[in-house]
């Protein structure tokens, strides 16, 4: 699966989508869900939680491993995806459609520090060698 070009990416395999209302949707990349395998549990951060960039804020568990999800930028969590409580496999089925949490960034310009799709693909390729 290719990485959508309208998203931003982190070195720790999160994708970030800027929403029309100024919030950011955050999920895990297709590469991350492939490495982890079948998802069995997702722990989302609570709305209102203030995050620092790079802070562990969610956990995804698969049949193989548990992995932390990190805040892509500093900001405040505005919503958690309750759908994942009963259906964590949505992260496998549609990794770029199943967001884990939404946040309001402390500084929208911080998005500029994240990778675009091409840079993220180069990062993934460099990890696999």
CATH number at residue 46: 2.40.50.100
pLDDT at 1 (0 to 100) = 64
Nearest of 95, 45, 33, 93 to residue 70 by alpha carbon: 45
With beta carbons less than 8 A apart as the criterion, state whether 25 and 75 touch. no
- 89 found inside a domain: yes
Q: Look up the pTM and report it.
A: 0.96
- 112 found inside a domain: no
- 65 found inside a domain: yes
Domain range for 31 is 8-106
Q: How many CA atoms lie within 13 A of 24 on its CB side?
A: 27
Pull the structure tokens for residue 60: 């995804």
Nearest of 15, 42, 35, 40 to residue 120 by alpha carbon: 15
d(CA 59, CA 8) in angstroms, rounded, equals 20
- 46 found inside a domain: yes
Q: What is the pLDDT along the chain (129 residues), one digit of tens a residue?
A: 689 999 999 999 999 999 999 999 999 999 999 999 999 999 999 999 999 999 999 999 999 999 999 999 999 999 999 999 999 999 999 999 999 999 999 999 999 999 999 999 999 999 876
Domain count, the chain: 1
């Amino acid at each position: 699966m290719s990485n959508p070009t309208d998203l931003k990416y982190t070195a720790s395999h999160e994708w970030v989508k800027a929403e029309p209302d100024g919030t950011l949707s955050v999920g895990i990349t297709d590469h991350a869900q492939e490495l982890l395998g079948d998802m069995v549990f997702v722990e989302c951060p609570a709305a209102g939680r203030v995050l620092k960039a790079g802070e562990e804020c969610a956990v995804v568990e698969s049949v193989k491993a548990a992995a932390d999800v990190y805040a892509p930028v500093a900001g405040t969590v505005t919503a958690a995806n309750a759908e994942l409580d009963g259906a964590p496999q949505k992260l496998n089925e549609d990794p770029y459609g199943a967001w884990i949490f939404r946040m309001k960034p402390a500084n929208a310009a911080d998005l500029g520090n994240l990778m675009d799709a091409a840079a993220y693909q180069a990062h993934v390729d460099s990890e696999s060698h």
